[in-house]
Amino acid sequence: MFKSVFETTTEGLLTNESLYTVLMWGVILGFLISLTYIFSDRDKKYSPHFAFTLVILPVIVSMVILLIGSDIAKAISLGGVFTLVRFRSVPGDSKDITNVFFTMAVGLALGMGYQQLAVMFTVVICIIYFVLVRFGYGVRRVVAKELKINIPENLEYEGVFEDLFKEYTNKVTLQRVKTTNLGTLYELTYIVEMKKNVNEKQFIDSLRCRNGNLTISLGQVPARMDVL
Protein backbone atom coordinates (compact mmCIF):
# COMPACT_ATOMS: atom_id res chain seq x y z
CA MET A 1 0.00 0.00 0.00
CA PHE A 2 2.73 2.49 0.96
CA LYS A 3 4.63 1.67 -2.21
CA SER A 4 1.65 2.60 -4.39
CA VAL A 5 1.29 5.91 -2.58
CA PHE A 6 4.89 6.89 -3.32
CA GLU A 7 4.85 5.73 -6.89
CA THR A 8 1.46 6.93 -8.12
CA THR A 9 1.07 10.36 -9.68
CA THR A 10 -1.42 12.08 -11.94
CA GLU A 11 0.78 12.05 -15.01
CA GLY A 12 2.75 8.89 -14.58
CA LEU A 13 5.03 7.67 -11.83
CA LEU A 14 6.39 9.66 -8.95
CA THR A 15 9.62 7.92 -7.99
CA ASN A 16 11.11 7.89 -4.54
CA GLU A 17 14.08 9.86 -5.86
CA SER A 18 11.95 12.70 -7.20
CA LEU A 19 9.87 12.75 -4.02
CA TYR A 20 12.96 13.01 -1.82
CA THR A 21 14.34 15.73 -4.08
CA VAL A 22 11.22 17.84 -3.59
CA LEU A 23 11.26 17.28 0.17
CA MET A 24 14.97 18.10 0.40
CA TRP A 25 14.66 21.35 -1.55
CA GLY A 26 11.54 22.28 0.40
CA VAL A 27 13.40 22.02 3.69
CA ILE A 28 16.52 23.80 2.38
CA LEU A 29 14.62 26.71 0.88
CA GLY A 30 12.35 26.88 3.93
CA PHE A 31 15.42 27.19 6.16
CA LEU A 32 16.81 29.92 3.90
CA ILE A 33 13.58 31.90 4.07
CA SER A 34 13.35 31.42 7.84
CA LEU A 35 16.95 32.52 8.41
CA THR A 36 16.39 35.59 6.25
CA TYR A 37 13.35 36.44 8.35
CA ILE A 38 15.36 36.03 11.58
CA PHE A 39 18.57 37.85 10.68
CA SER A 40 16.85 40.74 8.88
CA ASP A 41 15.10 41.74 12.12
CA ARG A 42 17.32 44.42 13.62
CA ASP A 43 15.29 44.63 16.83
CA LYS A 44 15.26 40.84 17.38
CA LYS A 45 11.49 40.83 17.83
CA TYR A 46 10.87 37.94 15.47
CA SER A 47 8.50 35.14 16.41
CA PRO A 48 10.18 31.72 16.92
CA HIS A 49 6.90 30.00 16.08
CA PHE A 50 6.60 31.90 12.81
CA ALA A 51 10.23 31.13 11.96
CA PHE A 52 9.45 27.44 12.47
CA THR A 53 6.38 27.76 10.22
CA LEU A 54 8.45 29.22 7.40
CA VAL A 55 10.65 26.10 7.40
CA ILE A 56 7.78 23.64 7.21
CA LEU A 57 5.33 25.48 4.95
CA PRO A 58 7.18 25.00 1.60
CA VAL A 59 7.35 21.25 2.21
CA ILE A 60 3.64 21.05 3.02
CA VAL A 61 2.59 23.09 -0.01
CA SER A 62 4.83 21.11 -2.38
CA MET A 63 3.41 17.82 -1.09
CA VAL A 64 -0.15 19.11 -1.53
CA ILE A 65 0.62 20.06 -5.14
CA LEU A 66 2.18 16.65 -5.76
CA LEU A 67 -0.89 14.88 -4.39
CA ILE A 68 -3.35 17.01 -6.37
CA GLY A 69 -1.49 17.18 -9.67
CA SER A 70 -3.99 17.84 -12.48
CA ASP A 71 -6.93 16.20 -10.71
CA ILE A 72 -9.63 18.91 -10.83
CA ALA A 73 -11.89 17.16 -8.34
CA LYS A 74 -9.11 17.01 -5.74
CA ALA A 75 -8.23 20.65 -6.35
CA ILE A 76 -11.83 21.77 -5.82
CA SER A 77 -12.10 19.66 -2.67
CA LEU A 78 -8.85 21.09 -1.31
CA GLY A 79 -10.04 24.61 -2.05
CA GLY A 80 -13.13 23.93 0.02
CA VAL A 81 -11.00 22.69 2.90
CA PHE A 82 -8.73 25.76 2.78
CA THR A 83 -11.75 28.06 2.99
CA LEU A 84 -12.45 26.57 6.42
CA VAL A 85 -8.95 27.30 7.70
CA ARG A 86 -8.61 30.47 9.75
CA PHE A 87 -5.64 32.00 11.53
CA ARG A 88 -6.15 31.72 15.28
CA SER A 89 -4.18 34.90 15.94
CA VAL A 90 -4.00 38.27 14.26
CA PRO A 91 -0.82 38.72 12.15
CA GLY A 92 1.53 41.11 13.90
CA ASP A 93 3.04 42.55 10.75
CA SER A 94 2.17 42.80 7.07
CA LYS A 95 5.63 41.37 6.34
CA ASP A 96 4.43 38.12 7.95
CA ILE A 97 1.71 37.81 5.33
CA THR A 98 4.31 38.45 2.62
CA ASN A 99 6.47 35.66 4.01
CA VAL A 100 3.52 33.27 4.03
CA PHE A 101 2.78 33.94 0.36
CA PHE A 102 6.51 33.74 -0.39
CA THR A 103 6.84 30.26 1.10
CA MET A 104 3.64 29.09 -0.56
CA ALA A 105 4.93 30.23 -3.96
CA VAL A 106 8.17 28.33 -3.37
CA GLY A 107 6.27 25.20 -2.38
CA LEU A 108 4.05 25.56 -5.44
CA ALA A 109 7.07 25.77 -7.76
CA LEU A 110 8.68 22.73 -6.13
CA GLY A 111 5.49 20.71 -6.31
CA MET A 112 5.13 21.46 -10.01
CA GLY A 113 8.69 20.33 -10.68
CA TYR A 114 10.37 23.71 -11.20
CA GLN A 115 13.22 23.22 -8.73
CA GLN A 116 15.63 25.60 -10.45
CA LEU A 117 13.00 28.32 -10.63
CA ALA A 118 12.19 27.81 -6.94
CA VAL A 119 15.86 28.14 -5.97
CA MET A 120 16.43 31.27 -8.08
CA PHE A 121 13.19 32.83 -6.87
CA THR A 122 14.02 32.13 -3.22
CA VAL A 123 17.56 33.52 -3.43
CA VAL A 124 16.52 36.71 -5.23
CA ILE A 125 13.55 37.47 -2.98
CA CYS A 126 15.55 36.67 0.19
CA ILE A 127 18.26 39.14 -0.85
CA ILE A 128 15.72 41.85 -1.64
CA TYR A 129 13.79 41.19 1.58
CA PHE A 130 16.95 41.23 3.72
CA VAL A 131 18.22 44.50 2.23
CA LEU A 132 14.88 46.32 2.50
CA VAL A 133 14.17 45.22 6.08
CA ARG A 134 17.73 45.48 7.37
CA PHE A 135 18.16 49.04 6.13
CA GLY A 136 14.73 50.12 7.31
CA TYR A 137 13.12 50.89 3.97
CA GLY A 138 9.91 52.86 4.53
CA VAL A 139 10.38 53.01 8.32
CA ARG A 140 9.49 56.27 9.97
CA ARG A 141 12.59 57.85 11.49
CA VAL A 142 10.57 59.64 14.15
CA VAL A 143 8.73 57.26 16.44
CA ALA A 144 5.14 58.26 17.17
CA LYS A 145 3.69 57.71 20.63
CA GLU A 146 0.22 57.49 22.06
CA LEU A 147 -0.65 60.10 24.69
CA LYS A 148 -3.76 59.73 26.85
CA ILE A 149 -4.88 62.58 29.09
CA ASN A 150 -7.82 62.62 31.50
CA ILE A 151 -9.38 66.03 32.11
CA PRO A 152 -12.37 67.24 34.17
CA GLU A 153 -15.65 67.54 32.30
CA ASN A 154 -15.76 71.30 32.87
CA LEU A 155 -12.35 71.90 31.23
CA GLU A 156 -12.42 73.02 27.60
CA TYR A 157 -9.93 70.66 25.95
CA GLU A 158 -9.58 72.44 22.60
CA GLY A 159 -6.34 74.41 22.71
CA VAL A 160 -5.71 73.87 26.43
CA PHE A 161 -2.41 72.05 25.77
CA GLU A 162 -1.48 73.85 22.56
CA ASP A 163 1.56 75.74 23.94
CA LEU A 164 2.95 72.61 25.60
CA PHE A 165 2.59 70.62 22.39
CA LYS A 166 4.51 73.29 20.48
CA GLU A 167 7.29 73.21 23.08
CA TYR A 168 7.74 69.44 23.38
CA THR A 169 6.42 67.89 20.15
CA ASN A 170 6.84 68.18 16.39
CA LYS A 171 3.37 66.99 15.45
CA VAL A 172 0.18 66.17 17.32
CA THR A 173 -3.05 64.55 16.15
CA LEU A 174 -6.15 64.19 18.31
CA GLN A 175 -7.33 60.63 17.63
CA ARG A 176 -10.23 60.17 20.01
CA VAL A 177 -12.28 61.85 22.73
CA LYS A 178 -14.45 59.79 25.07
CA THR A 179 -16.12 60.17 28.44
CA THR A 180 -15.05 58.07 31.39
CA ASN A 181 -15.73 57.67 35.12
CA LEU A 182 -19.52 57.91 34.62
CA GLY A 183 -19.16 61.01 32.48
CA THR A 184 -17.24 63.09 35.02
CA LEU A 185 -14.01 62.95 33.00
CA TYR A 186 -12.93 63.16 29.38
CA GLU A 187 -10.17 60.93 28.02
CA LEU A 188 -8.22 62.54 25.19
CA THR A 189 -6.10 60.29 22.99
CA TYR A 190 -3.34 61.95 20.94
CA ILE A 191 -0.69 60.61 18.58
CA VAL A 192 2.44 62.70 19.11
CA GLU A 193 5.91 62.95 17.61
CA MET A 194 8.27 64.02 20.37
CA LYS A 195 11.12 66.42 19.67
CA LYS A 196 14.67 65.13 20.02
CA ASN A 197 16.31 65.25 23.46
CA VAL A 198 13.03 66.19 25.14
CA ASN A 199 12.60 65.30 28.80
CA GLU A 200 9.39 63.27 28.83
CA LYS A 201 8.99 63.64 32.60
CA GLN A 202 8.96 67.42 32.31
CA PHE A 203 6.42 67.12 29.50
CA ILE A 204 4.12 64.95 31.61
CA ASP A 205 4.57 67.17 34.68
CA SER A 206 3.58 70.22 32.61
CA LEU A 207 0.47 68.41 31.40
CA ARG A 208 -0.43 67.43 34.96
CA CYS A 209 -0.52 71.10 35.94
CA ARG A 210 -3.17 71.67 33.29
CA ASN A 211 -5.40 68.61 33.84
CA GLY A 212 -5.65 68.82 37.63
CA ASN A 213 -3.11 66.04 38.29
CA LEU A 214 -5.38 63.41 36.75
CA THR A 215 -4.15 60.29 34.95
CA ILE A 216 -1.75 60.73 32.01
CA SER A 217 -0.14 57.92 30.01
CA LEU A 218 2.50 58.07 27.27
CA GLY A 219 3.40 54.88 25.44
CA GLN A 220 3.75 53.03 22.16
CA VAL A 221 1.08 53.34 19.51
CA PRO A 222 -1.06 50.16 19.26
CA ALA A 223 -0.38 48.21 16.06
CA ARG A 224 -4.04 48.45 14.99
CA MET A 225 -4.07 52.27 15.11
CA ASP A 226 -3.16 54.43 12.12
CA VAL A 227 -0.59 57.04 13.08
CA LEU A 228 -0.62 60.63 11.96
Q: Are residues 63 and 9 in the same domain?
A: yes
pLDDT digits (tens, 9 = 90+) for 135-194: 878 766 667 889 999 999 988 888 889 999 999 998 999 999 999 988 889 999 999 998
> Is 197 inside a domain boundary?
yes
If one counts the domains in the chain, the total is: 2
DSSP class of residue 214 equals -
- Residue after which a domain boundary falls, among 112, 134, 156: 134
Q: Are residues 15 and 98 in the same domain?
A: yes
Measured CA to CA, the distance from residue 148 to residue 221 in angstroms comes to 11
Q: Are residues 212 and 104 in the same domain?
A: no
- Residue after which a domain boundary falls, among 99, 134, 169: 134
Q: Is the pLDDT confidence value at 28 over 90?
A: yes
- Asked which of 57-61, 69-73, 89-93, 198-202 is least confident by mean pLDDT, the reply is 89-93
Q: Is the pLDDT confidence value at 18 over 80?
A: no
- Give the pLDDT band (50/70/90) at residue 122: very high
Domain that holds residue 181: 144-220
> Is 228 inside a domain boundary?
no
Nearest to 227 by CA among 158, 156, 171: 171
Q: Is the pLDDT confidence value at 14 over 80?
A: no
User: What pLDDT was estimated at residue 71?
Assistant: 62
Distances (CA, A) of 168 to 65, 75, 113: 57, 59, 60
Q: Is the pLDDT confidence value at 74 over 80?
A: no
Nearest to 138 by CA among 203, 75, 93: 93
Q: Are residues 97 and 177 in the same domain?
A: no
> Is 226 inside a domain boundary?
no
Specify the CATH number for the domain of residue 166.
3.30.70.60
Measured CA to CA, the distance from residue 169 to residue 163 in angstroms comes to 10
Q: Are residues 48 and 101 in the same domain?
A: yes
